Amino acid sequence: MNRIKRTAIIGGGAAGFFLAINLKERCPQMEVVIMERAQRVLRKVEISGGGRCNVTNTFEDIRDLREVYPRGHRLLGRLFREFDHRAVWQWFEQRGVKLVAQTDHCVFPQSQDAHTIVNLFLNEAHRLGIEVVTGCKIQSLDELADYDYLCVTTGGQPRSEQLSWLQQEIVEPVPSLFSFSIADDRLHQLMGAVAEHAQAMIPGMRLRSAGPLLITHWGMSGPCILRLSSYAARQLHEADYQLPLQVNWVGASEDEVAEAITGMMRQHPQKLVTSVAPLQLSQRLWCYLAEKAIAQRATEAPLGSLNAKEQRRLVAAVVADQYHISGRAPHRDEFVTCGGISLSSVNPHTLESRTRPALYFAGEVLDIDGVTGGFNFQAAWTTAYTVARSIASL
């Protein structure tokens, strides 16, 4: 009689459960165990997306995966041919979870409640007979010698030594997807202001991002900044999070902003500079920028009195505003790290270790990370599916 094969999945998060469910569905006779170090599983799923769980993205406006996966885009491009965002949508809906896409292309459960996803995973694991063990700290792969296949889905780790027990090639983990601290008290007073179409870049680097930018009591956040932090994760780390930052608050060209300001001058020559804002800038933000550019004249001068030099300064304040990043956000609650298991150390078709047979990796433990918007969960689903399919085919 054939011996029942056993698979241990180390890590009870999104990738771990998705891998276990897909593997058990393909191999009902296989013994599948999820081992989680913490006392609760799926905690990150539960609190993601503000408690709503941004399951994936429609990828509608994505022309190149490098836009949303600074690391791992080539590998994911290959794996998406087998299991992409459309397959994810179908997978969840076939199991009774309706999904909806927002105007920003982020995809959530129709319930707008992450517990819908958590409960699905827990119920499916129970239905399929997947064992879930919590409070289980694995310190050596040798502890699992009785298992035929080992799958590591422990998520991103902040320090490389936390991955050393895997005896694999490691790319040093560093934080990704964080907001910027900026030491500017006047900027902090604009807390809550949003520039919907901002662009941000780090001068001297070919790294820029676009999208809504939120001003906070410590500096800047929002999708525009989070994306830039992902693109420049390693450069920021190497610079100890001390780099210049340039912001275009409206995402328009210098000529377009100059034309808008000239139009304001013609239409409202008697009004004060700070009383009329161009290009859908909020009044608070425009006042701040105007005062920064032309100081007291901003609150005392009528628009019609602006000279050519003052107009140029106002344009520059809107399209090329200068700041200095003085660190990461004070709460430092990054959900994502870049780095982890080197992609060169795994088989790109199966995600099996090149140096240790029957050892597989899925999710953020790999050197794959995406920008905000459901892309990291998509990477977790795709890599977990790949491992499940690979083991099931043996």
- Judged by average pLDDT, the poorest of 108-117, 239-248, 273-282 is 273-282
The pLDDT score that the predictor gives to residue 329 is 85
The pLDDT score that the predictor gives to residue 268 is 95
To the nearest 5 percent, what fractions of the chain are helix, strand and coil?
Answer: 40, 20, 40
Task: Determine the 3-state secondary structure of 247 from DSSP.
Answer: strand
pLDDT, mean of residues 96-114: 97
The pLDDT score that the predictor gives to residue 331 is 63
pLDDT, mean of residues 12-38: 98
Q: Is the pLDDT of residue 228 over 60?
A: yes
Phi, psi for residue 371 in degrees, rounded to 5? -80, 175
Q: Is the pLDDT of residue 57 over 70?
A: yes
Q: What is the 3-state secondary structure (H, E, C) of 63-91?
A: CCHHHCCCECHHHHHHHCCCCCHHHHHHH
Question: Residue 57 is inside which H or E element, if any?
Answer: strand 56-57
Q: Is the pLDDT of residue 334 over 60?
A: no
pLDDT tier at 256, thresholds 50, 70, 90: very high
pLDDT, tens digit (0-9, with 9 covering 90-100), for 375-390? 999 999 999 999 999 9
Looking at the chain, the whole-number percentage of residues with pLDDT higher than 70 is: 98
Q: Is the pLDDT of residue 52 over 60?
A: yes
Of 121 and 297, more confident: 121
Q: CA torsion, points 119, 121, 126, 128, in degrees to nearest 10?
A: 150
∠ CA 225-227-233, rounded to 5°: 95
Of 326 and 336, more confident: 326
The pLDDT score that the predictor gives to residue 42 is 98
Q: Is the pLDDT of residue 316 over 60?
A: yes
Token pair belonging to 181: 């601290």
Residue 321 contacts residue 289 (beta carbons within 8 Å): yes
pLDDT tier at 335, thresholds 50, 70, 90: low
pLDDT, mean of residues 128-140: 97
Token pair belonging to 214: 């939120």
The helix-helix angle for 308-319 and 283-294 (nearest 10°) equals 130
Gyration radius (Cα) of the chain, Å: 25
Q: Is the pLDDT of residue 308 over 80?
A: yes
The pLDDT score that the predictor gives to residue 232 is 96
